[in-house]
Each structure stands twice: as C-alpha cells, then as structure tokens.
Amino acid sequence: MRIYNTETKTLEEFKPITPGKVSMYVCGPTVYNLIHIGNARPMIVFDTVRRYFEYKGYEVNYVSNFTDVDDKIIKKANEEGVDASVISERYIKECKKDMADLNVRPATTHPQATKEIQGMIDMISTLINKGYAYVVDDGTVYFAVDKDPNYGELSHKNLDDLQSGFRSIAVSGEDQKRSPLDFVLWKPKKEGEPYWDSPWCQGRPGWHIECSVMSRKYLGETIDIHAGGEDLIFPHHENEIAQSECANGKPFVHYWMHNAFLNIDNHKMSKSLGNFKTVRDVDAVYDPQVLRFLMLSAHYRSPLNYSVDLMDAAKTSYERLVNCCRNLDYNLENAADKEISEEEKKLLEQAHQYRLQFEKVMDDDFNTADAISALFDLMRFINTNSGTENSKTYLASLRKEFTELSDVLGLIVDRKPEASDDETAYIEEKIKERQEARKARDFKKADAIRDELKAKGILLEDTKEGVKWTKA
Ligand code: AMP
Ligand code: ZN
C-alpha cells in the first residue's frame, strides 16, 4: 500500500510499526456547534481509510479527539449562562449522532481535552525541564520554537521566513514572548473561564498540547498515521511535532495525511457568505449516504465542491447501487436451490476482477474515486448477469463481493425503500377503503385493494394493532 506523506511530499510504501497493526490519530472537531459538512470530510475520509486497513486484515487503533475547551465554547457558554461543559457535552452528543447517520464508526477512543489536563501538565513540565519551554511573569508557558532545529519540517516552512513574516505583529499581553513564533502551552485564566490548577498559574492549556498528549497516551510515543484537514498542517500539526518530539525524544508520526477542503458552489464555506451548511441541514433534504457518496467521489487530496447539482447526481448514482442490491436480493430469495453451474463459476471469476481492481486503486493512496468506478463496474456486471434462473450459491457470492466492497466505502446499499409523503397518504387511503369494504363484508373488493397494492410493491399485514404495511 502506498500513502502520500505530507512531510516528505511523496507516495511512500506503508510499513506499520507493529506488523498487522495500525495506530492512527485524527484531529477531531471543536464542539461548540453542530458540525458542518467540511468537518464531515475528514471524518468520512479517514473512516474509509480505517475500514480499508481492516479489510486488509490490520487491527486498527483509531483515536479521534473532541476539543472541549476553547474560546468559542466559552463564548457560547457565557451567552447561554451555562457551564462550558454543558455546551461541549451537548455538541459531542450531536456530533456522534451525525457520525452515526454518515455511517462513520465510533473511534476506538474519543478522548476529551478537559479529561486529560494532568497529562498536559506533565508534558509541559517535561518541556520546561528540557529547556524547550519557558514561563513568563503572568504564568503563561510558551514553547520556544528556535530550540527545535526541526521546526518547519512538516509544513516546509523556513524559520527565518516565518520570523520576518511575524515580526511586525505585536499581540497585546504577549510582550514577554521571546519570539513571535513561540506558541502557548498554558495560559492564565480570565474572568468567567474554566480553569485548572497548575505549577505555573490557574489556567487552561493551549490547543496544540492536547493532541500530543492524547496521541501518546492512547497510541504510544511514535504512531503510524496522524491525520486531519489541510488547514491543520500549520501551525497545529507542526506544533504537535515540536512538542511531542522534544518531550519524548522520539519520532512522533510516520505518515502525515491531510484531506483537501470542501467548498460550496466553488466558494469557501463561510457564515458571512450565507453558504454555510451543517450535516443536519443536508440530512433534512438528502439521505446522509448521499453526502458520504459525494465525499468519496473525489480523491481525498483534491478539493471537492458541494452543490445541489452534484448532490442530485450523487443521489442518482447512489440509488443505482441500492437498486442493484435490491434486485440481487429479490433474485436470491426467488432463485432455485440448485448446484452452481460451470458457467456461473466462470462468471464469478470475472466478477472477482472488479474486486482486484478496487483493491489496486485503494492500495494507491486510497483512491476512493476510482474505487467507486470499480464498484459501478461490478454493479453493471451483476445487473446483466443475475436473475432468478441462477443458483442461490452464485447469487450469494455476487452479493458477498458487492457488500464487502461497499462496506469498505461505508456505503449502506441494502436500504429498504421509503415511501414519499404522497405515496404514504395514498396507501393509507387505500387501507381505509379496504377496511370499510371488509366491514361491509365485500371481501372481493378488499382483496382487490390488497392485490393492487401488492402489484406496487406494498405488502399489507393484519396485526392486532391494525393493518401494517411495508414497501418491498
Ligand atoms: P475544527 O473544528 O475547525 O478544528 O475542524 C475539525 C476538522 O475538520 C479538522 O480536521 C479540519 O481540518 C476539518 N475541516 C474544517 N473545515 C473543513 C472544510 N471546509 N473542508 C474539509 N475539512 C475541513
Ligand atoms: Zn490535533
């Protein structure tokens, strides 16, 4: 398998630290609001990466944090007059619901910053003791960037260029900072903010330290993969490397993976432009699987556009997969129990080629766009080469090929059809008519209504609680 490593800017062969295992850390959202569809991109992309590793037989330890202490959370808590934890717990719950809708599996561990403060204090103390960090008069602790000779290695930035760029920016309250590039590890509390005791002052951690600490605690000092959106390369991930490598004296991460951004109608998503969309907004209009499909229809390192047209096209494509699965299941249910024929065996060999094609492109830096094409090739093959005249064994093997590949992409293809509002109203009206016919002992009419609905794929069941209907 080859993975594009942001740090070396090349495709590298994947070699795990421990054979058969993958340790993976994905920077998660700051929980002060419902997640937007941009946040959903790394979630879906790296969930798919995890699924593919598991498909290949790796055991994946997948850690993704929730940043639950931050200026935006505190601001919202003060506006609502509640504790910051009320806001963060609320939006962690909502985020988990969105993840479930998008079929993003829960991480092995979802650590939260506020529950890992002691670990952060310990790492900051180590950095101070080793001379990589310093404390100023008000108790703020800074990381001294110029003490780290490797600073800039991930973002390919040159320290001198960075220094001259920052020199003119004087931030108030930061006059004791030795260099404008130095970043905060710990800062003193302000009125109305949550705080913790520390050797330096009552206060709270800077943002970057949480990921260094959680990654080490749950995955070890050196891990296989660290991932997130490309906006995190600098300064967040650059600072994580500095903290972790200076504190641990070991390499931090073997492969750095970053997804490109999601835009809306070819513009950057922003509240002021009014083109900001939450996952919840999209779910109100589309099946969340359609959003997942759209996200995977581009390579994760290419920018991706969200628009109504693209979503409608994704919906049509996704529904073709669902229909294929539905027909296959119908054929499987109605096929004869007979021996698999020689011809069917040959066809299965042909079908297997699509799986090999799928694996080839996924092995090449998780090219989900081409993997979807391979899945569509398999779908077309199934549509032309399956029917009730086939053996159950043959059809079940096709179903297995199809499900295993769609599972890697996390696409739920065996969706039962849902009736539209109009359709539901029509069915309920018909059921009422049928009940009236039965009351009037007009069983011929009642049966005719049942048959009419059956022809439309609507099955009625008379239960103690009344008539129930399902759409086949
Ligand atoms: P945040 O809550 O801003 O820290 O973001 C959580 C994750 O979402 C990070 O990995 C970001 O890089 C990612 N992210 C934020 N906006 C977008 C976007 N428009 N497209 C893709 N990824 C994004
Ligand atoms: Zn992080």
The dihedral over CA atoms of 356, 361, 362, 364, expressed in degrees to the nearest 10, equals 130
Residue 29 DSSP code = -
Of all ligands present, the nearest one to the C-alpha of 64 is: 2
Q: Which ligand is nearest to the CA of 41?
A: 1
Neighbours of ion ligand 2 (CB under 5 A): 27, 211
For residues 249-270, give the mean pLDDT: 95
CA of 274 to the centre of ligand 2 (A): 28
Q: Atom of ligand 1 at shortest distance to CA of 26?
A: 10
Q: What is the mean pLDDT of residues 175-193?
A: 92
Residues with CB under 6 A from ligand 1: 27, 29-30, 38-39, 41-42, 228-229, 231-232, 259, 261-262, 269
Residue 169, pLDDT above cutoff 70: no
For residue 138, give the H/E element and its range: none
Query: How deeply is 348 buried, as exposed, middle or buried, from its count of CB atoms within 10 A (0-12, 13-18, 19+)?
Result: middle
- What per-residue confidence (pLDDT) applies to 277? 95
86: DSSP letter:
H
What are the start-end ranges of the E strands in 110-199?
A: 133-135, 141-143, 183-188
DSSP 374-409: HHHHHHHHHHHS--TTSBHHHHHHHHHHHHHHHHHT
Average pLDDT over residues 141-170: 83
Chain mean pLDDT for the chain: 94
Distance of CA 166 to CAs 128, 182, 371, Å?
24, 11, 44
Q: Which of 35, 39, 66, 112 to mutate to test the pocket of ligand 1 (most atoms within 8 A of CB)?
A: 39
pLDDT at 13 over 90: yes
Ligand nearest to the CA of 207: 2
Confidence of residue 171 (pLDDT cuts 50, 70, 90): low
Mean pLDDT of 123-127: 98
Higher pLDDT, 261 or 336: 261
CA angle (112 as vertex; 110, 118 as ends), nearest 5: 125
Residue nearest to atom 19 of ligand 1 (CA): 38
End-to-end CA distance of the chain, in Å? 41
Quick check: bond before 235 cis, omega within 30? yes
Give pTM, 2 decimals: 0.89
The single-letter DSSP state of residue 35 is P
* Overall average pLDDT of the 129-134 stretch: 98
Q: Which atom of ligand 1 is nearest to the CA of 269?
A: 19
Q: Can you give the pLDDT at residue 58?
A: 98
Q: Are 130 and 232 contacting, i.e. CB atoms less than 8 angstroms apart? A: no
Q: What is the mean pLDDT of residues 445-464?
A: 86
| Ligand 2 centroid from CA 233, angstroms | 10
Phi, psi (degrees; rounded to nearest 5) at 359: -65, -40
Is the model's pLDDT at 168 over the cut of 80? no
Q: What are the φ/ψ torsions at residue 424 (nearest 5 degrees)? A: -60, -45
CA-based torsion, 406, 409, 412, 413: positive or negative: negative
What is the average pLDDT across 405-416?
92
